[in-house]
Amino acid sequence: MEGTEDAGMKKPRTEGDADELQEVRVIVDNYEASVIIGKAGVNVKKIRLDSSAFVSILKTEGSSKERVMQIKGTVDFNVAALQMIAELLIKNDQERKQTDNPEAVVDTHCFKLLVHQSLAGAIIGRGGAIIKSMQEDTGAKISLSTEPLGGSTEKTVSVTGNIEQSNAAITRILTQIRDNPMRPGTTSNPYVPGQPQMSFGASPYGAPSPYGMPPQGYGMPPQQSPYGMAPQMGSPQGAGGATKLEKIVIPTICAGTVIGKGGSIIRDIKMQSGTTISVAAPEPTAPNDRVVSISGPPQGIQTAIFLIRQRVESYQPPPTAAGTPMMGY
């Protein structure tokens, strides 16, 4: 397992750090996603309200059987949200299994957390000391994937146990991640279910993908893209392949983060990817979602999707008064 030399060592923290927001990414299958969201979003709205954490499930293009759930809040808020989600999924699984076997008992769940590969050492510890202690103290089973998921810098941390065990283990894991942040400038390429692995040419900063790369390269001429090609005005960037159209869905509350003030961010994404992008107004039947249409060559479309997902995942809920829950997509 990988990890920095001082991974797992608790770093000094200043007063108030415990209240900082943290993003947690979790893999869920399509059925679990539907249960978490609930009819007309009733379940996810209750989770947000009761936990004070921002919960969002990203929609995935294609035929992937998985989706990524994002949770943002303090460690306590995030654990509270995950507890509610575990209770919901266990109850649903119990009801489904009892249809075939009335004596069936379901009281455990497995969460697959996504963590940057550089944070693995903070969870494992020297010689496996930290992860061993977590398992012994909480009774939960914890395991990390050997390699990052395809096309990403994220590994899975699987936590299996009942509600109490999972809560204790996840609290320890999230605290370790909070207390051992990634080093500045670390390249980050989040896992996207169903996303084909992309191979970009080396950027001027040595980053293999747009994730973690400064917009416009900070000082690069505006006409130069971070992939070493200047987009041609009036035509899609890149060679080979007819123009195509793809649509993705983003939470309405994140639209401003994608569009930017006066459309500045969406213009940058268009230029960097050589695509045409439009963000539709919310439909009356789905006010919490907005459809983003992207047209251009296949490579440009995939670049735009990566950049848009980066913006969605960088969303931070607005500050709220103490005790006031954070709501909305």
Q: Which of 179, 197, 213 marks a domain boundary?
A: 179
Does 34 lie in the same domain as 171? yes
Sheet with 54-58, strands from edge to edge, namely 54-58, 66-73, 22-29, 109-116, 154-161, 141-144
Q: Assess whether pLDDT exceeds 60 at residue 254.
A: yes
In whole angstroms, give the CA distance from residue 94 to residue 107. 8
12 within domain boundaries: no
Residue 220 domain-assigned (yes or no): no
The more confident residue out of 111 and 311 is 111
Question: Which CATH number fits the domain that encloses residue 324?
Answer: 3.30.1370.10
Section 236-262 average pLDDT = 77
116 & 265 share domain: no
pLDDT at 14 over 50: no
Give the model's pLDDT for residue 115: 95
The residue out of 129, 159, 179 marking a domain boundary is 179
Q: How much is the pLDDT for 301? A: 87
Q: Which helix (H) or strand (E) covers residue 155, if one does? A: strand 154-161
**Mean pLDDT in residue range 253-278:** 90
161 and 263 both lie in a single domain: no
One domain for residues 170 and 53: yes
Q: What is the mean pLDDT of the chain?
A: 77
Residue among 187, 194, 183 at smallest CA distance from 226: 187
Which range has the worst mean pLDDT, 53-57, 233-237, 295-299?
233-237
What pLDDT, in 10s, does the model give residues 161-188?
Answer: 999 999 999 999 999 999 999 888 888 8
Q: Give the residue numbers spanning the domain of 285.
A: 240-329
Of 145, 162, 179, the position where a domain reaches its end is 179
For residue 224, the model assigns a pLDDT of 31
Residue 329's pLDDT band, with cuts at 50, 70 and 90, is very low
Residue 202: the pLDDT is 28
Domain count, the chain: 2
**Mutual orientation of helices 264-273 and 298-313 as an angle, nearest 10°?**
150
Taking the C-alpha atoms of residue 285 and residue 200, their distance in angstroms, rounded to an integer, is: 38
pLDDT of residue 203: 29
Same domain, yes or no: 149 and 257: no
Tell whether 128 and 254 lie within a shared domain: no
